[in-house]
């Protein structure tokens, strides 16, 4: 179920492609104690995977499909 503009999984696919194509490139920066800290696409991909696994574990796959599917 989506808006009919783009496939429902398009954003996830673009994210996974970006991580795979440029894992060592900088994804973003954030303020740190000594200036700015940099996070790569590979690190961002690992964080997203961990967060997604935690949500699936906490909510259950069926609950997520029911909510978004």
Check: CB of residue 24 under 8 Å from CB of residue 42.
Answer: yes
CA distance 68 to 45: 21
pLDDT at 12: 86
Check: CB of residue 13 under 8 Å from CB of residue 21.
Answer: no
pLDDT at 5: 63
pLDDT at 63: 56
pLDDT at 9: 74
Check: CB of residue 40 under 8 Å from CB of residue 27.
Answer: yes
CA distance 34 to 15: 29
Token pair for 66: 């029911």
Tell me if the pTM is above 0.95. Answer: no
């Amino acid at each position: 179920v989506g808006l009919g503009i783009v496939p429902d999984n398009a954003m996830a696919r673009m994210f996974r492609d970006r991580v795979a194509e440029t894992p060592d490139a900088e994804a973003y920066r954030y303020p740190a104690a000594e200036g700015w800290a940099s996070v790569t696409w590979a690190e961002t991909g690992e964080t997203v995977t961990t967060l997604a696994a935690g949500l699936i574990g906490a909510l259950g796959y069926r609950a997520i499909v029911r909510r978004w599917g």
